[in-house]
Amino acid sequence: MQVAGWFPGARDGRADRAAPRRGAPPGMGRVAGFVCAALVALGAASSAGAGATPQLSDEAFEQAKFIYFDRCSGCHGALRKGATGPNITDETMTKQTLAKLEKTIYEGTDAGMPGWGRTGELTRGETELMAKYLQMPAPVPPEMGLKEMKAAHKLHVPVAQRPLKPLHKRNIDNLFGFILRDAGKGAIIDGDTKELMGIVDTGFAVHIFRASGTGRYFYTIGRDGKVSLIDLYEEKPRVVAEGRVCLDARSVEVSKYKGPKGDFVDKLAVVGCYWPPQLVVMDGQTLEPLKVVSTRSSTYDTNEYHPEPRVATIVASHADPEWVVAIKETGLIWLVDYSDLKNLRMTQIEAERFLHDGGFDASGRYLLIAANMRDQMVVVDTKEKKFVTKFETGVKPHPGRGANWIDPEYGPVSATTHLGEGLITVFGSDPAGHPEHAWKIVRDEETGGPGLFLKTHPKSNHIWTDATLSKEEGANQKICVFRKDDFDAGANCWKATDHGKIVHFEYNKAGDEVWTSVWDKQGEIIIYDDKTLKEKQRIAADWLVTPTGKWNVYNTVHDIY
């Protein structure tokens, strides 16, 4: 098994390739990272100049393979069969001209794909390279089993050698974990003092920080499948264990259940892989890999076998010792009982394709998750362990973890933004107290443009949204804020930066500050007073390389969003 060539930064390994390559590579531009929101809608097919398979040198092929991994595979899949983005296999792409493909890649689409050239992430040479690469058969990545995972596992600090209490006087509940995406690092920042506590090495293009049930640890998962365990008790936060359990990954979660069925808090962790398509269960204190569960199966609706059903969202159930796992391509929600790994039990719930981001309602009972290529939100009851309903919102809903609040007219509601249009959709989420509004759209309003995230807090009167994917000039540098007590008045929007893109919001523990990122190589953190919407502080430093997502310990532990 030759895995190294599939890892960013270790592309010297070799892998079997499905097509010959000849000729000189195009100009080598930078390969800056970017959240893969590639929602390619490649338009009508054209026969002019189509059909001939391009030829690339080995060097050019390796460069294209990495760019595809970095920008495209998250939405189109390693095998290019599509999910959040459409099918872009070579059979489909050879029906188009290279000129048509280059234009789409460079300029983007109205369906939500950023223009990689227009925004500066790809050069003209790289755009030309990627158009050719898409007309070649996709190389199939290698598998990865427990043997390879154990070989990659590193325990830097055994549990017995870790401190029994914090070695500092900081408020752990109000610490923030920040992704420094392209640097392959994470930053831990004190939310009270705004001081940098430390920077730790993580995987490439980390997707999320997940706080442990006790709040002592942060777990991170990189796009390269590297998982890290960060101890916040240390004077300077440090990685005490790490491993690599996938070649491409998005989700990590920890066991949080404590109740009549046992105390499992922080005892286990789980990573959801994009490739190979599988779940990996690990020891929660050491990250030693314990069990691999393949997600390959048949789609819920057509019962056709799918070779690449990727793990999207994972959340820890409040009702039972279970992880709630969304399987993107098959449209299934798995409730994985982690109380007995030797005799693993799992409930499969038919939901909808293609599952992506989601989180709980305010009660922590209902999983609200987007099936974004079907333009729908799905509701699953994790207590009764059954499908509840699904309903259409806008074009490609993308709630992140979502946002929950009390509407003055409709009671408890939840909301989502959209990848394909500038729209926030609000729906009732209290079937017990307000059954007449439950799972029905009660409000919607325009935002600043297609975005990735929205955020609120129980102590706030505001909902914050970004427009990271907007193609309109300068729109992705704006923030839009809605009022809970006057939502129909629309958004208050302002330009927050003159460079980069605004992405992702997080509240501090008190709910009176909002932190957001300016996403580029000269990144910044902007901190706002939530009550006045006035900027309180702006952090700029040379270590802020492409800051993206951020997570407050307390809010993450308690599913506050």
The residue written with tokens 């039972």 in the block is 320
Q: Choose, from 153, 207, 306, 398, the residue flagged as catalytic.
A: 398
Tell me the C-alpha distance between 290 and 280, whole Å: 7
The answer to whether 179 and 525 are in contact (CB under 8 A) is no
HEC profile of 522-550: CCEEEEEECCCCCEEEEEECCCCCCEEEE
Query: What are the angstrom distances between the C-alpha of 20 and each of 1, 23, 55, 56, 502?
Result: 21, 10, 6, 7, 41
Residue from 153, 207, 306, 356 carrying the catalytic annotation: 356
Instruction: Find the catalytic residue in 72, 93, 130, 136.
Output: 72
**Can 246 be counted among the known catalytic residues?**
no
The closest alpha carbon to 421, from 112, 116, 119, belongs to 112
End-to-end CA distance of the chain: 42
Q: How far is 46 from 248, CA to CA, in rounded Å?
A: 33
Assess whether 36 carries a catalytic annotation.
Answer: no
Clarify whether 318 is annotated catalytic: no
Sheet holding 248-254, edge to edge: 248-254, 268-275, 278-283, 289-294
Which listed residue (113, 136, 273, 373) is catalytic?
113
Among residues 75, 93, 136, 144, the one annotated as catalytic is: 75
Q: How far apart are CA 339 and CA 343, in angstroms?
A: 9
**What 8-state DSSP symbol labels residue 312?**
E
Active site residue 75: yes
Which structure tokens are listed for 260? Answer: 């009549």
Active site residue 156: no
Distance CA 343, CA 340 (A): 6
The enclosing H or E element of 391 equals strand 386-392
Helix, strand or coil, per DSSP, at residue 160? helix
Active site residue 306: no
Cα 80 from Cα 85, distance rounded (Å): 9
Asked if residue 311 lies in contact with residue 277, where contact means CB atoms within 8 angstroms, the answer is yes
Please report the sign of the dihedral spanned by the C-alpha atoms of residue 93, residue 98, residue 100, residue 103: positive
Cβ–Cβ under 8 Å, residues 520 and 548: no
Sheet holding 386-392, edge to edge: 355-360, 366-371, 376-381, 386-392
Distance of alpha carbon 211 from alpha carbon 225, whole angstroms: 18
Cα–Cα distance between 338 and 7 in angstroms, integer?
Answer: 30
The catalytic site residues sit at 72, 75-76, 113, 356, 398
